[in-house]
Amino acid sequence: MAFTVVIPARYASTRLPGKPLASIGDRPMLQHVWERAGASGAARVVIATDDTRIREAAAGWGADVLLTRDDHPSGTDRLAEVAAELALDDDAIVVNVQGDEPLIPPAVIDQVAENLRQRLWASVATLCEPLGSREQLDNPNVVKVVADGAGRALYFSRAPIPYPRDAKAAEGATPWRRHIGLYAYRAGFLRRFVGWPVVPPEALEQLEQLRALYHGEAIHVADACRPVPGGVDTREDLERLRAHWTKGRAE
């Protein structure tokens, strides 16, 4: 199955400027991500950046790089520009791999692309995993998802959904799922998406995928086939990844 991986990479991160080029072990974080994407079944892996420093660094290790506009409001808009630049057909599958996830398993990249390929009713596919604790359920930084029996997403929220109204009935239950921000899109959907304005639920929750649901687009959701470690959002996350890498090399 042919699909394209696009790795959006911005230099101007608010919490950790220059994050894509931060070193982990002997190479930049973005190179780790690129190598893992390259180990998937993708026909092509493209780094999409608005910064010449990232372009030059990535070209130096042999990556396929596109320099995109610097005024995109979201990573999805950047993907749409790449899809247009590559002249992808409407049915072509594009997997968005975040540039700050150096431990992402290649198997889940293949999984999300294959899930979308198999479901012609879906415009988007994404992944989730069981929530590990009540603290995660109540944490607004952990996005929750509810889907129907066919894996069609019903809603994404920062709130605890489904809400455990009866605490006793909820004992031992595991219906809660954390959304994993890995997406496969049909290129035609990307072209439609960037033409829509922000919708009320999206503005409230600050979750782009709600714009797709608002417009009746179907999103397929499935449990990830492998554990997906968290990405790098802060300096603390970066130091934890560096320690993980050093420990792994020593063992």
Segment 127-172, tens digit of pLDDT: 999 987 888 889 998 999 999 999 999 999 999 999 888 766 566 6
| Percent of the residues in the chain that have a pLDDT greater than 90, as a whole number | 71
Gyration radius (Cα) of the chain, Å: 18
What single letter denotes the amino acid at residue 134?
Answer: R
pLDDT for residue 173 = 61
6-51 tens-digit pLDDT: 999 988 777 788 889 999 988 999 999 999 999 999 999 999 999 9
For residue 217, give the 3-state DSSP assignment: coil
Overall size of the chain counted in residues: 251
Distances (CA, A) of 173 to 150, 155, 205: 20, 20, 26
Give the residue ranges of DSSP H helices in 86-172. Answer: 106-118, 134-138, 167-170
- How far is residue 217's CA from residue 231's CA, in Å, rounded to a whole number? 27
**How many CB atoms lie under 10 A from the CB of residue 250?**
6
51, 11 Cβ separation under 8 angstroms: yes
pLDDT for residue 231 = 83
Cα dihedral 13, 228, 37, 75 sign = negative
User: How much is the average pLDDT of 198-223?
Assistant: 97
231-243 tens-digit pLDDT: 888 888 889 888 8
* All domains in the chain, ordered by first residue: 4-250 (3.90.550.10)
Neighbouring residues of 243: CB distance < 8 A, sequence distance ≥ 6: none
**Exposure letters 34-70 (e unless 16+ CB within 10 A, then b):** bebbbebebeebbbbbbbeebbebbeeeebbbeebee
What single letter denotes the amino acid at residue 193?
Answer: F
Whose tokens are 């129907």? That residue is: 148
